[in-house]
Amino acid sequence: MRVVLAEDSVLLRQGLVALLTEHPAVAEVIEAGDLGELLSAVSEQEPDVVLADIRMPPTHTDEGVRAALRIRQAHPGVGVIVLSQYAEPEYAMELLADGTDGVGYLLKDRIAEIDDFSSAVRRVAQGGSALDSSIVSQLVARKRRAAPLEVLSAREREVLALMAEGRSNAAIARRLVVTEAAVAKHIGSLLTKLDLPPDADDHRRVRAVLAYLRG
């Protein structure tokens, strides 16, 4: 993978570069310190995935989100992950507005969970999705207020949340300490209850679930 990393904090950027370059799948990390450098790097370097701080110079407001949306429109084959200090569902919803393929929203304090972080970067680079569990929880809570999910069992809600993070059946099974067959059964059941047709393709399945969460 070729990765463009946009982060104005030199210390954090160096740490992320060191972390990414240790991964055998990462061939190169191109650094950017602001919005202009980020957009130039994407145009010139044709990366597989972009990691962008949600707040960058010049205004330190929502440059990362704006850049992500521009990159997704101009370079649809490039995966984009926004890194944030806080869980902000509104920004996540903007990123998801045009679909969930090749998009991620991760919290910076979860980067220390190296295996999960590396898996998320690889998944987004390959066209999948990666949403922080806290974002998914807030989206689920918001949807429950608008249209209650009482039809789902507690276990089905757990599976739904992990599906929305972009995790595979095998990953869900490991997290919940159950068999993959049990996970498949829960998914079939919850999709039926939510009037969402089951599908064997993980990415289409995630899009269906997130479409439901968006209401």
Per-residue pLDDT of the chain (215 residues; tens, 9 = 90+): 999 999 988 888 999 999 898 888 899 999 998 889 999 999 999 899 999 999 888 888 888 888 999 999 999 999 999 998 887 777 888 887 777 789 999 998 888 788 888 889 999 999 988 888 877 777 666 655 555 567 778 888 888 888 888 888 999 999 999 999 999 998 888 877 776 665 555 555 665 566 556 55
Which token pair is 80? 């984009």
CATH of 2-131, one of 3.20.20.370, 3.40.50.2300, 3.40.190.10, 3.90.1570.10: 3.40.50.2300
Length, in residues, of the chain: 215
Structural fold of domain 136-214: Arc Repressor Mutant, subunit A (1.10.10)
pTM beyond 0.85, yes or no: no
Whole-number Å distance between alpha carbons of 76 and 208: 20
- DSSP summary character for residue 26: -
Domain(s) of CATH 1.10.10.10: residues in the chain: 136-214
Q: At what angle do helices 154-164 and 180-193 cross, to 10 degrees?
A: 100
Cβ neighbour number for residue 190 with a 10 Å cutoff: 23
Domain(s) of CATH 3.40.50.2300: residues in the chain: 2-131
CB 161 within 8 A of CB 150: no
